[in-house]
Structures are given as C-alpha cells and as structure tokens.
Structure 1
Amino acid sequence: MSDVPTKKDVPIDLNIPDNYVQHTLTTTKPLPPITLSNILNEINWLSFIILTSTPIMGVIGAYYTSLRWETAIWAVVYYFITGLGITAGYHRLWAHRSYNASVPLQYMLAMAGAGSLEGSIKWWSRGHRAHHRYTDTDLDPYNAHRGFFYSHVGWMLVKPRRKPGVADVSDLSKSPVVRWQHRHYLTLILTMGFLLPSAIAWLCWGDAKGGFVYAGVLRLVFVHHSTFCVNSLAHWLGETPFDDKHTPKDHMVTAFATIGEGYHNFHHQFPMDYRNAIKWYQYDPTKWFIWSMQKIGLASHLKVFPENEVRKGQLTMQLKRLRETQESLTWPSNSDDLPVVSFDSFQTQSQKRPLILISGFIHDVSTFIDEHPGGAHLLVKFIGKDATTAFFGGVYDHSNAAHNLLAMKRVGVLHGGHPHILDIAKRVPPSQRLKIARYNELSSNYASSTAWSDGDEEEQGGTVKKLRK
C-alpha cells in the first residue's frame, strides 16, 4: 500500500473562512450611520479638539509672536526629531519590527514620538498593523476607498463605524519601553510636546513664547499632517511599480511631505524592510537615520527584503504594463487564420493583384508597392514568386520594422510552404519573438496532473520523495 498522500488526505482547517474580511463583515454589526441627529454623540471629541484647536492656536499665536531665526531653525529641527519618533520609532521599529534598537534609542524614540501627540506606541502600532492586514477594506481603520479626507483625518474625528480588524500586538505588551510610555503618556506629551521646545528656546536665546508657538504648537500641526499624508496622499498620488492590487503608491512629493515615507507601494509589498526608498537618490531620511544609528552601535539587524524578490515585484508590474500595450496593438494573422493556397493558385491570383511569397506566407503589397524605399521595381519583379532569399539579405537585409510591416500584409499560406522554411525566425516577425503570456496560456507546467497522486503510482525506490532543502 502506498504512503504517498492523496489530495483527499491533505488536512484542511474547517475553521478558517474562505475570506476572513468578508466573513468578519457579515458576522459583525456596524454602528448606525452618522446623521445630523446623532453627530454630536458620534464625534471623537478628544481627537476633534486637538486636531482643530492646535492649528487655530498656532495661527493666532504666530500673529502675535514675531519669529526669530533661532526659533525657526529650532522648530524645523524639532519637527524632524519628533517626526522621526513616529517614522523610525512607532512605524518602522515597533509597528513593523524592521530593525532592532538599543534600549537608549528606544527610550529616545518613545519620547520623541510622544512629542507628536499621535497616541501611544501600542495604540498607534495596533491600528497600523490592522491597516496593513486589511488594506482598503472596511476593517482598515483609514480605508483609502472612503475618500482622501477620511483617510487623512476624518477617521479620527468621528467614532469608527466598525472596530478595526484584529491585529496582534502581544510583542508590544511585553516591551518595557512600550509599557513605560503607555503608562506615562500624558506626562510625556505635555513635556515633549510643549514644555521642552519652549524651554530650549527660553534657555538658549530667551524666546520661550516663540518656542511654544513655533516649535511647539505649529510644529505639532506640521508633524500631524505629515504623518496623516502617509494614510491619504500616499494612497492617492504616484505610481505602483511593485503591485497594483491595493491603493498604496510611490511618489517623491509624498516622500518629502512625510520624512521619507512616500515610497508607499514598496512599503506595503515589503513592510518589514527598514527602507522605504531603495534607490540612493530617493528621499528617505528615516532610512538614513536608522542606518546611522547602526553605524554608531545603537541599532542592529536592519532587515532588507531579498533583492531577487524585489526585482520580481518590479518585473511583474512591468510585464503587466507591457501586456496592456501588447493587447492595444494590431497583430498579423497567424497561419491558422489564413487560407491555405496552392502554388498554382498563388500564381494565378498574382496576375490580378501584387502577391509576393516570403517565408511560406503570401503577402498583398498593393498598398505598399509605390512606397517601397528601394523603388517599386524591386517588388514588381517578385510578384507571383518566392522572394524569401531576396528579403533576407539576397538583395537587402531588411530592418525589424520592415519585417513587422510585411507580416501585416499576409493574406494566405502556401500549401506545403512552411516545411521548406527551416529557420523559424524567418517566419516569426521580430515584434512577436518575445510576447507576454498569462500563466493559463502557457504549457501545463502550472497545472500538472501529476502534482497530486492518487496513490496508485509505483513509488520510486520504495520511498516517498523528500522535499528539496
């Protein structure tokens, strides 16, 4: 009796639905739609007050507070410090575990991230992991399909109609730094968000008010919307060089707006890669920061997705676009689509219209005879004859364009003509020697009937084949 497993022997987990997202959406009840009668109860008042009051405070404060050049520089520097707390800390370290950080670096990033007032590490990472797992669905907390405004800031202004999909953050619950930040979050946001930027400006050049307005409040507004652009702009503007199944896109503008998080199509395909930008010239200061931390011993184990697989992703999209271009073009008729004509019939019909035989195909050159670069007389003397040798170098070694144009003028196939053309390249025009084909248009390599054994075949050597190492 054979030990080879049959198809029916392969275990199937009956507890796993065919589509988890659809299963969850159909088995859970959403909150009722927001209307004028319930909108006050459905507003997320804490987020609403923070996100609306800070820009108002910043504008009013700037109107009454002159901007000193020292404070302007400090505001920009602190923008990057607290922004990196989100991009290098919350995002790439804790949400995606794309590198290891030393304990001192973890505390620095946790404090800097708190200065951005975007929630604790645990809360932020839980939502972000759900975003990656359920991208563009109703289980995605900032679903881009609900519109630019919603994915940018709207999802925080009102209570979500559905709870975000399940995401595992048990690793974060075990982190002493994450627990410390979560426990002291209120103190940290007041200190890092407002007290520290004001104190630095006061102690160094006597501008506490300017430090509060510009490096505190207005800086916070810019950090907020920089981060929010990752959820909105990065899903709206740009290209999809790695995958177009979902909305994330790559664009330089988004990268500049988000401290390097703008190559979002790459990021969603390879989320555990510490990089967002893989080209040396692409703007990704978060990547440069993490790399620098590794060089001075504060970071290690920077994860990089295999280059081979990255290039496969790029090639897949390139082939897809080439396929679309290929399908938009008009191609010559194949031999199966053309009438088969005897040589005598070919010569007879050539007396009524200019037909020339090349590579076993009969071509009607009536629309081209007067446009032939070498002159009409070169075509006329081959009407009703085989011009294969002349076309392939006997008279002139024609260009790829000439081969492609000739193929479009096929009107028939000479009976018994193909077997005499030993070189297949003479039958296939250059434009068709490489073509994009879908897997179901290829051979049976992708659907081999021997992939499953019914247990009746003889075992080779009396043993089941082992998996390749």
Structure 2
Amino acid sequence: MIYVTENNSSISDNIPYIPKPLDLPERVSTQSLYLPLQETKVTASEEEQDFIKNNYVARTLLNQPELPPLTWWNWYKKIDWPKLIVLGSEPFIASYGIYSTPFMWQTALFTFIWGVLTGLGITAGYHRLFAHRSYEACLALRYILVTLAAGAVQGSVHWWTRGHRAHHRYTDTDLDPYNAHKGLFHSHIGWLLFKPCRSIGTVDTSDLDRDPSVQWQHKHLLVLNVTMGFVVPTLVCGLGWNDYRGGYFFASVLRLLIVHHATFCVNSLAHYLGDTPFDDRHTPRDHFITALVTLGEGYHNFHHEFPSDYRNATRWYQYDPTKWAINIFKMLGLASNLKRFSENEIQKGRYGMLQKTLDKFGQTIVWPKNSTMLPIITFEEYQELAVKDTDRALILIAGFIHDVSKFIDLHPGGMALLKNQVGKDATVSFYGGVHDHSTAAHNTLAMMRVAICKHGGDVEYLKKRLGHAATPSPIWT
C-alpha cells in the first residue's frame, strides 16, 4: 500500500518513485531473461487446476467442506437465535415505546447525541482505528472509543474487526461474511440472523491481541453493553428531566435500532447504491445518501480502494463527520499519524475509471477505417484514378486519399473549392492555406478515407506545424 501521513503528505507527493534494480547472481545472464518462452499446450482442466493452486480463495473453497444449505426442513437449526431475538425484538419494542411514551424534546436531543457518540465508537473506533489502523490514538481515546462502541451493541471490537478485515480481503467471495452477491438481505442482516455455511476467510488480528483496550472491552463486554446501551441513557433522561420511559424506549431501544441498521447499510446499501469513481471490479459504491445515514461511511468505493486512508470523503463538500471527529481528536492531542493515500495514486484511480467510461462511450461511435485496412497507392496512381473514376471525387490530404463525392454539396465553403482540389494534394489548403479547418472537419474528413498515398504527399507541411497549438487533428488516426 502507498500512503502518506497527514504530516508529510506534501513532501511525499513530490518524491518520485524509483524502483530498485534487480540483484541478479553473476552467473545469471540478463539476456536470458528476455529469451522467448517455449509454448506449451495447456488443457482446460489443467488450467483450472493451476488457477485453484495459485488462488487462495478458490483453493480454500475447494478444500473447506460446506455445511448443508438452508431448507424448509432445517431452518430452525440455521437461525442464530440470540441475534434474531435481539435484532428482531428491537422494532416492536421501539414501536410500542413510540405510541405509549410522551414525547420530550430533551429526550429527543439526547437520543440524537447519544446515537452519534455510540455511532462514532463504531465508525471512528471499530472501523477506522482498529480494523484499518488509519490513525493512531492514545490509550485514553482507545478506551473511550471501545466504551462508546459497546453502547452500539455490535459485538466486541475483536469480533467486529476480524469480520471486517475478512470482508476487505475477500470482497464479494464466499469467504466474505457480507458477500453482496448473495443479495441485499444477506449483506444487510441475513449474515447475522443465519449461521454461515462456511467459515469466513482467515485474517491477521495479532495487533488486537496486544491492545489492552481491546482485551479490556472483550472481558467486560456484556456489562459494557448493558451499561452503555441501556443503563446510561435511561438514567440520563430519568435523572435529568424525569423521563425514564423515554430514556429506555427512545435513547436506548430506538437509538439501537437506528445505529444497528445504519451500520448494516455500510455492508448492504454501500454495495448497491451509487457509482464507482475509482474501481468497478467489485461492488462497493459511493453515494451521499449512504454517507448521510452512516456518519460518512458511504463513500465506499474510495474506502475499498484506499482502506488505510483515515478519510472516506476527500472533497471538502462531501459528508464525512467521522473524518471531522478524527481531525478534532488530532487537534486535542488524542490522535496522530493520520494516514492519507497520495493524491497522485487517488487520481490514478479516477483516471482509470474515466478512461473506462470514455472507452465504453467510444464503442458507441462509428470510427473511420484503420489505416492498416486501406490500400496503398502512389501519387501518380492517385492522379490517374482521380481522372478515370468519374463517380468519385478523390482528394489527397495529409497522406490519405478521401472520397468527398457525397460531401461536395454539403461543403460549407462551396462546391467549387472541393472540385478544384480533385486529383491534387490539398494538404496545405486544408491546414490553413485556404482555411484552417476545425476538429469536427478533421473527424468528418477521416470518415471519407479510401486509400493511403505512398510517401504521403505534402505531409512535410504538417511536420512544420506540429507545435502549433491551434492545429486540430482527427481523433482517429
């Protein structure tokens, strides 16, 4: 990965990458590296076996036995009942609370604030700090983030990070726990409600095993879930303005329902809604709506391409409150080493996708014949043919012979100018001798090519004008 920290990004962007030379043994001749390889015939079966041998995902899926699929006869065995009870009961409890509990603006405001804080525990903590190590945080901030994240009740940071790292390493494969190819329901919540048919891909989490805040949260997770998820919001609303019911139903249950599904949207909606400005090989997409409901995690195409970047949004106008929070942590001295991918590498991604878009658009356009498909004749043969072939009006321009017979009546400069150039080399006239034609004129002319003039004709005139910025050239040459 190529990234720079926020403190030295401007310096790193100016340092060119210089590859190191190969350290070859003296007995190895460099010329032997360029000898043509002997062609060997490979059968389809051998090619498939070679692919499996050299592809970790394919090899793992082949060797790892898959559990029986979900059917009408075993569905009750496939359901993860504890998760179903928790996630399934939230909408009903929240709905009951909405219809049975008086509204208080203080509770509504606190619900929003507590939702943002516990949500940041997930986005700035679980996701960008622990899962991607996109910045460094002091120990105090790490404890604060894992404590707030416990209030979102989304498992331990160790469990959450392991699954998320597998998602990035094995995106859109059966080793990806949120595999978007299995459908919107599966990637949103189905992967939680039903036991997986196979184990998720292996990832390295050794850094988490050495983190005291991670170990502390894992050890006290249940207590932290209950305390931060239910006790604290209920007591704040109850002791603050005597709204214990609102504290439980709104600041606890309804908030949890919203925070849960906001996080789930990163796995589901962010893989279905939006565009792919950096890469389209996988499903992650960028969209403002997803960013709006996920505290800035909706620029998912960028994130999957540059996962170690502490930002999800790079433009000043893009909504990414998690990025803003991390910047505040830095200003307060709580965070450091904010990682940012080089702007040059980011622009490469944009350029690649823009090029793909242009190429796809170009496939809808009718282009002139490739020069390799045109016959080559001498200038004398061209002159003779122009006289004999009365059905065509042949004009030589820039080394190409064009049949302009169907364009004579449409020529903006009149028919006489074109008829006067039949059988001649009109290069100088076309390139400014009579009129310096537009790019559209060049492109239109290129569609009329029928042959190539050997030795090019008056192309020497063009060589003198190569540096002239105002000289247009046809798109297809």
TM-score range, shorter chain: 0.7 to 0.9
Alignment of 1:359 onto 2:395:
no
Shift in Å, 1:364: 1.3
Shift in Å, 1:109: 0.7
Alignment of 1:345 onto 2:345:
no
Shift in Å, 1:349: 3.6
C-alpha contact (below 8 Å) 1:240/1:248 kept by paired residues: yes
C-alpha contact (below 8 Å) 2:396/2:427 kept by paired residues: yes
Q: Is the partner of 2:401 in helix, strand or coil?
A: strand
Shift in Å, 1:275: 0.5
Alignment of 1:300 onto 2:344:
no
Q: Residue 161 of structure 2 aligns to which amino acid in structure 1?
A: S
Residue 153 and residue 353 in structure 1: after superposition, are their counterparts in 2 closer, same or farther (change >3 A)? Answer: same
Alignment of 1:168 onto 2:204:
yes
2-side partners of 1:349 and 1:73: how far apart? 89
Shift in Å, 1:344: 3.5
Shift in Å, 1:428: 9.2
**Aligned counterpart in structure 1 of residue 290 of structure 2, from 254, 268, 287:** 254
C-alpha contact (below 8 Å) 2:383/2:423 kept by paired residues: no
Q: Deviations over 1:178-198 (max 9, x none)?
A: 111111111111111111111
Which structure 2 residue ranges, 5 or more long, are not aligned?
1-24, 34-49
Q: Which residue does 2:104 correspond to in 1? A: 68
Residue 225 and residue 420 in structure 1: after superposition, are their counterparts in 2 closer, same or farther (change >3 A)? Answer: closer
Q: Residue 134 of structure 2 aligns to which amino acid in structure 1?
A: S
Q: Is the partner of 2:340 in helix, strand or coil?
A: coil
C-alpha contact (below 8 Å) 1:333/1:408 kept by paired residues: yes
Normalising by structure 2, we get a TM-score of 0.86
Shift in Å, 1:381: 2.0
Shift in Å, 1:357: 1.8
Percent identity at matched positions? Answer: 53
Q: Residue 98 of structure 1 aligns to which amino acid in structure 2?
A: S
C-alpha contact (below 8 Å) 1:237/1:249 kept by paired residues: yes
Q: Which residue does 1:328 correspond to in 2? A: 364
Q: Which residue does 2:89 correspond to in 1? A: 53
Q: Deviations over 1:403-430 (max 9, x none)?
A: 1101111112234435754536889943
C-alpha contact (below 8 Å) 2:398/2:462 kept by paired residues: no
2-side partners of 1:334 and 1:199: how far apart? 77
Q: Residue 43 of structure 1 aligns to which amino acid in structure 2?
A: I
Q: Deviations over 1:163-191 (max 9, x none)?
A: 11101111111111111111111111111
Q: Is the partner of 1:163 in helix, strand or coil?
A: coil
2-side partners of 1:130 and 1:153: how far apart? 17
Query: Which range moves more in the overlay, 417-426 or 219-228?
Result: 417-426
Query: What pairs with 1:165-244 in structure 2 (closer than 5 Å)?
Result: 165-244=201-280
**Aligned counterpart in structure 2 of residue 397 of structure 1, from 428, 436, 445:** 436
Shift in Å, 1:402: 0.4
1-side partners of 2:268 and 2:120: how far apart? 19
C-alpha contact (below 8 Å) 2:428/2:458 kept by paired residues: no
Report runs of 4+ in structure 1 exceeding 4 Å deviation: 5-8, 424-428
Q: Which residue does 2:474 correspond to in 1? A: 430
Q: Residue 400 of structure 1 aligns to which amino acid in structure 2?
A: T
Residue 348 and residue 431 in structure 1: after superposition, are their counterparts in 2 closer, same or farther (change >3 A)? Answer: same
C-alpha contact (below 8 Å) 1:351/1:384 kept by paired residues: no
2-side partners of 1:383 and 1:278: how far apart? 57
1-side partners of 2:409 and 2:206: how far apart? 78
2-side partners of 1:198 and 1:330: how far apart? 68
**Aligned counterpart in structure 2 of residue 417 of structure 1, from 451, 456, 462:** 456
C-alpha contact (below 8 Å) 2:66/2:198 kept by paired residues: yes
Shift in Å, 1:5: 7.1
Query: What pairs with 1:425-464 in structure 2 (closer than 5 Å)?
Result: 429-432=473-476
- The alignment yields a C-alpha RMSD, in angstroms, of 2.1
Alignment of 1:369 onto 2:405:
no
C-alpha contact (below 8 Å) 2:425/2:458 kept by paired residues: no
Alignment of 1:24 onto 2:24:
no
C-alpha contact (below 8 Å) 1:253/1:262 kept by paired residues: yes
C-alpha contact (below 8 Å) 1:350/1:383 kept by paired residues: no
C-alpha contact (below 8 Å) 2:386/2:423 kept by paired residues: yes
Q: Residue 347 of structure 1 aligns to which amino acid in structure 2?
A: A
1-side partners of 2:210 and 2:82: how far apart? 28
C-alpha contact (below 8 Å) 2:382/2:423 kept by paired residues: no
Shift in Å, 1:340: 2.6
2-side partners of 1:289 and 1:5: how far apart? 56
1-side partners of 2:386 and 2:286: how far apart? 60
Q: Residue 274 of structure 2 aligns to which amino acid in structure 1?
A: G
Q: Is the partner of 1:413 in helix, strand or coil?
A: strand
Shift in Å, 1:69: 1.0
Query: What pairs with 1:132-171 in structure 2 (closer than 5 Å)?
Result: 132-171=168-207
**Aligned counterpart in structure 2 of residue 382 of structure 1, from 416, 421, 442:** 421
Q: Deviations over 1:130-154 (max 9, x none)?
A: 1111110000011000000100000
Q: Residue 303 of structure 2 aligns to which amino acid in structure 1?
A: H
2-side partners of 1:116 and 1:420: how far apart? 72
Q: Residue 104 of structure 1 aligns to which amino acid in structure 2?
A: A
C-alpha contact (below 8 Å) 2:398/2:458 kept by paired residues: no
Q: Deviations over 1:342-371 (max 9, x none)?
A: 133333245332222212222111221111
Q: Residue 343 of structure 1 aligns to which amino acid in structure 2?
A: Y
Query: Which range moves more in the overlay, 409-418 or 78-87?
Result: 409-418
Q: Residue 365 of structure 1 aligns to which amino acid in structure 2?
A: V
Q: Deviations over 1:302-344 (max 9, x none)?
A: 1111112111111121222222223332222233312233133
Q: Deviations over 1:70-122 (max 9, x none)?
A: 11111111110010000000000111111111122111111110111110000
2-side partners of 1:83 and 1:418: how far apart? 71
Residue 420 and residue 304 in structure 1: after superposition, are their counterparts in 2 closer, same or farther (change >3 A)? Answer: closer
2-side partners of 1:347 and 1:430: how far apart? 24
2-side partners of 1:27 and 1:350: how far apart? 71
Q: Which residue does 1:463 correspond to in 2? A: none
2-side partners of 1:334 and 1:41: how far apart? 63
